[in-house]
Amino acid sequence: MKKIIFLIFAGYGIWFAAVGGKRLDEDIVRDFYRQAADALINNDSEAYCKLIDDDMHGNSKFWMPSRPTIPSAFQQFGKKEACDSLAVIQQMKEQAQLLAGISLHINYEYTIESISISPDRKTATVELHDEFRIGTEREAMLIMRSRQTNQIRRNLGRAKIFHSNSITRVSEGKRR
């Protein structure tokens, strides 16, 4: 009897790793973005990094229209750079706090425009807009608005981003 129970659990584990743990649906994708937003807002690098696939690759373009003398920047990145991005954001916040002489907050909002699940349900292509702000409760000092196309896949039950293309517009803050 113990062998039969063991074989059932072993069979389920093998099935889950090979098939069940790789299937995606919209709820899983939306939950992925909720987890990413929570990690970003709470500056939780460990949780954020767990959402990034080891094979991550992406492209980002940044520009600051209000400062035409600052050239646009294009960056290709992998998992390490994506994981390190939270430390960069924290440094930006700390530098802005020193300049402003006040405590600043990070605000992040996103809107998922579309989710397209592949026919085999192993990957999803997600288009979204997001806005990241550093500032006080009443005024943002720095605003970054981006448009992204990301690809998510699920492996062993965990959704992870493995490709991203983004265009980000950086601007100085305005009163809300």
What is the model's pLDDT at position 125?
98
CATH architecture of the region 2-172: Roll (3.10)
pLDDT tens, residue by residue, 30-72? 999 999 999 998 889 999 999 999 999 999 998 887 776 777 7
Q: Which long-range contacts (CB under 8 A, 24 or more apart) does 44-50 make?
A: 44/86, 45/83, 45/86, 45/87, 48/83, 48/86, 49/79, 49/82, 49/83, 50/158, 50/160
Helix (H, G, I), strand (E, B) or coil at 71: coil
Mean local confidence (pLDDT), 105-134? 94
Report in angstroms the alpha-carbon separations of 95 from 46, 104, 115, 135, 137: 23, 10, 36, 12, 18
What pLDDT is stored for residue 64 in this prediction? 81
Tens of pLDDT, residues 135-166: 887 888 889 999 999 999 998 889 999 999 99
Domain boundaries, the chain: 2-172
- The CA distance from 93 to 105, in Å, is 8
